[in-house]
Amino acid sequence: MTTEENSEKKEEVTTTTAIASASSGRTEVYEKQKMYIRGDPAFEWVSPFSPDRVDPLVSKKVVEFPTRSELKAVIPPHCFERSLFWSFFYVIRDIVQGIIVVYLTTQVFQLSTEPPQFEENASIATKVTAWLAWRLAWNIYAGVMAAAAGGLWVIGHECGHGAFSDYQWVNGLVGWTLHSAMLVPYFSWAFSHAKHHRRTNDMEDGETHVPCTYQDVGLLKQSTSAGTSTYQRASMKQVQEKMVGSGGLYQVLSNFFYANAQLQEMMGDEFFSFCLLYFRLFFLFQFYLMGAKADGKVPKTKGNWEDHFRPQSDLFPPKMKWKVIASDIGCGITISILAVCSYFYGFRAVWFWYFGPYTHIHMFLVGVTWLQHTDPTIPHFDEQNWTWMVGALAGTIDRPMYGWVNYGSHNICTTHVVHHCFHTIPHYRALEATKAIRDFLEPKGLYNYDPTPVEHACFKIAKRCHFVDSHTDGVQYYQSLMDVPKSTTTSAANTANKEKQN
């Protein structure tokens, strides 16, 4: 055998070994997540898109996905018809529901924005109880108003997809009005959201729900004597150096999750998961709009904000300039109205009447969209393995939701798969379209429907979905910080190895 043949043989063996190692590693990650799910009676569902069905490194024969035209053919044609009458009917319905909630709050329950007043001899217990009841009542109002009128947000989102009507100017005017009223920069957000639809579960070019890599969450890789590698938590000093430095606020917000590994170790699994969930639900959408790091998405240009408010933001091409400005004007008008109301009625009144429902609506929408694209057994793809249909089907999940929530949100929880496949289908036809594609896809093992109650699913994801190994190395599944050794354990093991070597 010649030297050249020896070299080729050695290279082939090395490549085969590397592929086998990668295949084993990915299957191990998936099986570990599946074992965790199966070990908890609250979690029963596992995605059908396992590594042997979607990862060429694990199986030479991956599952075949239908074409878009094949999928469209199974949906009744009238599901693609948009009706101005029905679209405006639901706008009016949601507005009327909001007016009814206001009427009940002011006229029936006579809830005041002023704190309860007491007689001088009232006990502390009476004061505390009355104050808590008052705050609870306003929180109930916020939740009920969000359920009653929050569907307007969903309709505004449909306008951005062109699902409201056949007329683009109607879609733009209605969407701009509805989203501006909720402090969402309509055209700016519609632009970034469209990219999310174009690149669903694409780790390299996705817009939202991009997993963080192990480096993003404060982990390091350490080689072992066996030639493999393990994760090790960055020290607190390394976290401080990464997050705080000459880069100022940009450095902090662009490395926002680097403290996660240390925080998870200090807080423990349950409390860390609760805090992660709380932050995501209440603050992540606003962080995302402002350009802070909201997930694992890699910015185009280091040092430049990808916010939704500046025409020169890296998020937008030059042609978006006037649409971004129009979006800012819409939000500016709403802020001005809120400022005037604060002047005449006080900020407390504005907080209770407006920002209470605002918080609940965005908390719900952030939670729902997170659940629709995240699970320990949902695959994420690099550029080489991603296709539009693979991302839309393997990376999207339909979930059950309580009836009144489904009613108020126009069934967005249970019809998201069909929405990603055909975003111009209006919400009032999406249930029928969903049934059609589910009957077609489910027998083939190509449909994600997780029956897990949403509150359980949220905590499952918060505990198990923290990072992936790489954005550019094949098909990846989420890994959990729960499975990474604690710093003290790692230090003890390193010390023992050094002593053994000596």
Q: 10 Å Cβ neighbour count for 440?
A: 17
Query: What length is written for the chain?
Result: 502
Q: With beta carbons less than 8 A apart as the criterion, state whether 202 and 326 touch.
A: no
Residue 157's nearest CA partner among 141, 170, 171 is 171
User: 């209006």: which residue's tokens?
Assistant: 426
User: 């997050």: which residue's tokens?
Assistant: 243
142: its two tokens = 């916020």
User: 């083939």: which residue's tokens?
Assistant: 444
Distance CA 17, CA 131 (A): 67
Please state, in angstroms and as integers, the Cα–Cα distance from residue 222 to each residue in 225, 226, 229, 237, 264, following that order.
10, 11, 5, 18, 20
Q: With beta carbons less than 8 A apart as the criterion, state whether 282 and 359 touch.
A: yes
Helix (H, G, I), strand (E, B) or coil at 59: coil
User: 């339909």: which residue's tokens?
Assistant: 398
Helix (H, G, I), strand (E, B) or coil at 56: coil
Residue 275's nearest CA partner among 266, 181, 201, 23 is 266
Distance CA 273, CA 275 (A): 6
pLDDT tens, residue order, the chain (502 aa): 554 444 444 444 344 444 444 555 667 777 777 776 666 665 678 999 999 999 998 988 899 999 999 999 999 999 999 999 999 999 999 999 999 999 999 999 999 999 998 888 889 999 999 999 999 999 999 999 999 999 999 999 999 999 999 999 999 999 999 999 999 999 999 999 999 999 999 999 999 999 999 999 999 998 776 667 789 999 999 999 888 877 777 788 888 899 999 999 999 999 999 999 999 999 999 999 998 878 888 776 666 778 999 999 999 999 999 999 999 999 999 999 999 999 999 999 999 999 999 999 999 999 999 999 999 999 999 999 999 999 999 999 999 888 888 999 999 999 999 999 999 999 999 999 999 999 999 999 999 999 998 889 999 999 999 999 999 999 999 999 999 999 865 454 454 444 445 4
DSSP string, 323-353: HHHHHHHHHHHHHHHHHHHHHHH-HHHHIII
Residue 32's nearest CA partner among 478, 337, 333 is 478
Residue 68's nearest CA partner among 236, 197, 178, 168 is 197
Distance CA 355, CA 373 (A): 27
**pTM (2 d.p.):** 0.89
Q: With beta carbons less than 8 A apart as the criterion, state whether 152 and 391 touch.
A: no
Distance CA 217, CA 479 (A): 11
87: its two tokens = 């679209």
Q: How far is CA 57 from the centre of its chain?
A: 28
Distance CA 482, CA 268 (A): 9
Distance CA 414, CA 397 (A): 8
According to DSSP, residue 120 is labeled: T
204: its two tokens = 């390299």
